[in-house]
Amino acid sequence: MKLEPAERNPAELRRTALILVGIMIFGAAFVLYAYVQSSKEKMDPDRPPIVTKISKKLKAQDQYGELFNMFHLEGKVWFAAPVSVTQLMENEHALKMMHELQQHYADNEMVHFVLISVEGVDQGVGPEQLIKAAQELGLTGERTSWLTTGETKKQRGFIKDVLRLGIVMERDAGDPAGKWKFPSQIALIDRDMHLRQRYDFREAYEVQKKTELEVEQNPELKNEDNIDLYLRAYPLLQEKLLANTQYVLAEIKTGTKGE
């Protein structure tokens, strides 16, 4: 049987070619858009990472003796830090920064503050001790909550495993620094209860002071590359925290900032 080539309709060929070109242009535009969006996210230094979702809530008692459920913080941006009411200086750097943040966001109803005691009611820390510490530090107000529970182990577990703010350890008896030792960190949590970032102000302070001492003893170190990052470790960390917080406050959804 003799096969003859099929007749080709020029109009159909042109239409098919245009469709293929359109698909390629659309595909290229989509890839380019995705690349640009990805690059923006990678290039934006103010966007804090998404560490984990806080699904376990701590049911506690606040400084007024009222039950406090962390579900009330959904839809808010909040900071959290551990605290020992029996040795407030242990968390000196984080508490000082919490006070500065409270003043900075005094007019922003969206921002809340949570201080979680490392000692529970079973270790003698109840509302009376919490409110006394709050007043002493000036960390008071409707949007600042000091929390404790009836189980010290429970609240320390929440600090370590959920907020990831470190382990509470016991020093040797008679240590002048006090009985308890734990990191001086602050956690930033977004509206959807995602832990976004943690900031260690004690570490930043110590790095800065150590570098200042080294430069004082060896002035030639001032010429080292990036030495300013160490000489200004504390204020730079504060700037990062504020920039991260502003990004989170402007988010239209987790990880995406509104225009």
Pick the CATH number of 52-198 from 3.30.70.260, 3.40.30.10, 1.10.760.10, 3.30.70.20: 3.40.30.10
Contact between 193 and 211 under an 8 Å Cβ cutoff? The reply is no
pTM of the shown model: 0.79
Q: What is the pLDDT of residues 177-203, one digit of tens each?
A: 888 888 899 999 999 999 999 999 999
Dist CA 108 CA 103 (whole Å): 10
Chunked into runs of 10 residues, the chain (259 residues) has average pLDDT values of: 54 54 46 44 79 89 92 93 92 94 96 96 94 95 94 93 92 86 93 95 92 89 85 94 95 74
Dist CA 202 CA 183 (whole Å): 8
